[in-house]
């Protein structure tokens, strides 16, 4: 019909146009007609094949899982896909990490946590053309159930963690569809620093990552970091429990600030106000006075310091230890350092893959330590700094740059990333710190350092109510406010000491990362309250 219309129009314009122009027009018209015909044919074709798609029950988007049925289906972990499983038909639930269609084939990378495997849908006996097309069109990050045959591969697949096998997909169902556009790409998140700049590829900055934390946490690096962090907690608990410690839970809403009033959060508490605990310090000590002997506590700690640095958070997880000792507070130091060494050893043994995974993105030297832990005295530290040309007073506190420099000097001489600095000047420590019996200028207190940054601060506490009162007066502390604390030492208190460790800092420094936000799942700092 179109052809006729075109011919009619041509006849009308016959006189005006030359013969050449007429021929050209005719040809064009024929072309258009052919194209239309072809399209119609293709549409009809696909319709007809749609109807006789032999594999149409092998793929698709099933009903939302509302627990309608309980299948006896075993879902194999991606991690377990090894050559031993070759030529078995298995089910896997995983995310679509990437997909790449190529003619009659479609390659998928299926990811499950930090492991991934290559999967293949190819047109053949089991899969139809439509199925391949469907597989290629599944959005990234969607969750799929896949039934597939495990096949050994001749060449190792370098881009996957399961390098020796691939999956030949026979069925594929989308359990949860992801939106087509992701706020950030996972590949951009795991690219090592500097590599993106060279290739001109995108890198994601910290804030974007934290804004889309849920997606960022899916990266192999994040998965490894938080698995390791869980390991630190686990090892901390196990080691201390084996040493006969008791885990306690302390209130986080407290009536008075424990260390200095400046950096506490105030919360309204019915008709009065209360504070968020800066440390379970007072409660740990009360437990010691209540004969618990050795206690530890894992819980949130709040600091209202308005410091936007790479190592400060306003809420973090504190690992706190307090124990009664017999005669010398070094018993406490030894107990804590031994716990730390056990944690380091445990991480080295059990979390080697995680350490390596993080190392791929953020390379750093392996963590080194000595057993027993090196203990230096404050005066020695000052002497080392002075030898290096730092000008500082005997009773001056270590500034952050000096702390780092001292860390480097100690590393150079002793080759350890972990050490204890003992006998701090009394003037720079809180009022409950026990003074040194030999020299009134110093105190029985200590800090522990990892890679030159402080992770623990502790001391022998004053267990004598009278001396405690004296020291509190010396520090101009209102005795009324800490009355209940001082009173707990009036009825017999054993000598004791302890310290508190920041979980995030330990993880950050163990892995040699540069920002504490990387090791905090949902970090809180003066500028961030979400997600």
Nearer Cβ to other proteins, position 45 or 394? Answer: 394
**At its nearest, how many Å lie between other proteins and the CB of residue 380?**
4
> Please, what is the end-to-end C-alpha distance for the chain in angstroms?
63
Q: Report residue 304 as tokens.
A: 């209202």
Q: Which is nearer to other proteins, 200 or 393 (CB)?
A: 393
Compute the least distance from the CB of residue 374 to other proteins, in Å: 7
Q: Using CA atoms, how far apart are residues 49 and 130, in angstroms rounded to an integer?
A: 9
Nearer to other proteins, 258 or 443 (CB): 443
- Our CB check for other proteins shows the closer of 382 and 508 to be 382
DSSP codes joined into one string, 288-302: HHTT--EEEEEEEEE
Q: How far apart are CA 522 and CA 224, in angstroms?
A: 16
Known active-site residue 311: yes
**Chain centroid offset of residue 434 CA:** 38
When the beta carbons of 131 and 421 are compared against other proteins, the nearer one is: 421
Of 217 and 390, CB closest to other proteins: 390
CA distances (Å), 107 to each of 2, 438, 494, in order?
44, 73, 67
Sheet holding 496-502: strands in order across?
246-247, 294-302, 315-324, 496-502, 453-460, 445-450, 418-422, 374-377
Among candidate residues 95, 311, 375, 471, the one labeled active-site is 311
- Give the nearer residue to other proteins in terms of CB position, either 114 or 342: 342
Asked if 453 contacts 505 with a C-beta cutoff of 8 angstroms, the reply is yes
Q: Is 58 a catalytic residue?
A: no
Find the radius of gyration of the CA atoms of the chain: 34
Least distance (Å) from other proteins to the CB of residue 367? Answer: 7
Least spacing, CB of residue 462 vs other proteins, in Å: 19
Q: Which of 488, 505, 517, 520 is catalytic?
A: 505
The token duo for 203 is: 């890198």
Main-chain dihedrals φ then ψ at residue 336, nearest 5 degrees: -70, -45
User: Which of 303, 429, 451, 471 does the annotation list as catalytic?
Assistant: 303
d(CA 104, CA 125): 13
The strand ranges marked E within 113-265 are 115-122, 143-152, 165-176, 246-247, 253-254
Query: Is 273 a residue of the active site?
Result: no
CB of 370 to other proteins, least distance (A): 4
Between 276 and 333, name the residue whose CB sits nearer to other proteins: 333
Residues that bind other proteins (CB under 8 A): 328, 330, 344, 348, 367-372, 374-377, 379-380, 382-384, 386-388, 409, 412-416, 438
**Least distance from other proteins to the Cβ atom of residue 321, Å:** 20
**Rounded distance between C-alpha atoms, residue 118 and residue 78, angstroms:** 10
Question: Is residue 457 annotated as a catalytic residue, yes or no?
Answer: yes
SS3 341: helix
Q: Closest distance between other proteins and the C-beta of residue 342, in Å? A: 12
403 catalytic, yes or no? no
Helices (H), 165-280: 186-190, 195-199, 206-211, 213-216, 220-242
Mapped onto helix, strand or coil, the DSSP state of residue 435 is: strand
Q: How far is the CB of 142 from other proteins (least distance, A)?
A: 44
Question: Which one is catalytic: 166, 322, 403, 454?
Answer: 454
Q: 79 vs 85, 160, 237, 404, CA distance in Å?
A: 11, 11, 27, 40
Q: Tokens 């469907």 identify what position? A: 134
- Which residue has tokens 């961030």? 528
Question: Which residue's CB is nearer to other proteins, number 339 or number 416?
Answer: 416
User: Least Å distance between CB 218 and other proteins?
Assistant: 32
Are 493 and 288 in contact by the 8 Å Cβ rule? The answer is yes
Active site residue 255: no
Q: Choosing from 305, 377, 380, 395, which is the catalytic residue?
A: 305
Q: Which helix (H) or strand (E) holds 418?
A: strand 418-422
Q: Is 315 a catalytic residue?
A: no
Q: Which residues are catalytic?
A: 303, 305, 311-312, 454, 457, 505
């Amino acid at each position: 019909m179109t052809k006729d219309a075109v011919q009619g129009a041509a006849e009308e314009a016959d006189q005006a146009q030359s013969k050449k122009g007429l021929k050209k027009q005719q040809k064009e018209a024929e072309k258009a007609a052919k194209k239309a015909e072809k399209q119609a044919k293709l549409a009809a074709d696909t319709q007809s094949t749609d109807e006789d798609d032999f594999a149409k029950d092998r793929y698709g988007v099933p009903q939302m899982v509302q627990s309608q049925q309980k299948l006896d289906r075993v879902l194999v972990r991606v991690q377990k896909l090894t050559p031993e499983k070759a030529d078995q038909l298995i089910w896997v639930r995983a995310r679509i990490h990437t997909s790449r269609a190529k003619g009659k084939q479609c390659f998928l990378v299926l990811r499950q946590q930090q492991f991934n495997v290559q999967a293949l849908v190819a047109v053949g006996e089991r899969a139809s053309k439509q199925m391949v097309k469907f597989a290629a069109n599944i959005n990234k990050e969607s969750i799929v159930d896949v039934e597939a045959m495990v096949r050994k591969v001749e060449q190792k697949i370098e881009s996957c963690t399961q390098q020796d096998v691939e999956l030949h997909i026979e069925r594929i169902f989308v359990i949860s569809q992801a939106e087509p556009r992701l706020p950030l790409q996972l590949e951009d998140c795991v690219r090592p620093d500097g590599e993106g700049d060279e290739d001109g590829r995108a890198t994601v900055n910290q804030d974007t990552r934290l804004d889309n934390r849920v997606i960022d946490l899916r990266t192999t690096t994040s998965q490894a970091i938080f698995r390791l962090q869980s390991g630190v907690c686990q090892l901390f608990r196990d080691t201390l429990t084996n040493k006969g410690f008791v885990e306690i839970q302390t209130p986080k809403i407290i009536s008075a600030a424990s260390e200095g009033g400046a950096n506490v959060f105030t919360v309204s508490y019915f008709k009065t106000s209360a504070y968020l605990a800066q440390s379970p310090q007072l409660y740990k000590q009360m437990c010691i006075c209540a004969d618990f002997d050795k206690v530890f506590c894992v819980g949130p700690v709040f600091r209202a310091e308005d410091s936007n640095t790479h190592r400060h958070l306003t809420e973090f997880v504190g690992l706190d230890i307090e124990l009664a000792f017999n005669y010398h507070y070094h018993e406490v130091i030894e107990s804590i350092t031994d716990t730390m060494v056990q944690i380091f050893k445990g991480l080295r043994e059990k979390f080697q893959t995680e350490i390596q995974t993080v190392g791929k993105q953020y390379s750093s030297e392996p963590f080194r330590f000595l057993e027993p832990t090196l203990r230096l005295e404050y005066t020695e530290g000052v002497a080392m700094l002075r030898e290096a040309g730092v000008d500082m007073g005997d009773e001056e506190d270590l500034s952050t740059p000096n702390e780092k420099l001292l860390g480097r000097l100690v590393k150079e001489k002793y080759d350890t990333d972990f050490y204890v600095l003992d006998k701090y000047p009394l003037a720079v420590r809180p009022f409950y710190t026990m003074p040194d019996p030999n020299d009134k200028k110093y105190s029985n207190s200590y800090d522990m350092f990892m890679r030159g940054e402080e992770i623990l601060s502790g001391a022998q506490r004053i267990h004598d109510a009278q001396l405690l009162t004296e020291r509190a007066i010396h520090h101009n502390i209102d005795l009324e406010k800490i009355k209940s604390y001082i009173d707990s030492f009036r009825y017999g208190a054993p000598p004791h000491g302890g310290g508190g460790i920041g979980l995030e800092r330990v993880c950050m420094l163990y892995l040699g990362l540069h920002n504490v936000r990387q090791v905090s799942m949902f970090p809180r700092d003066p500028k961030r309250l979400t997600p």
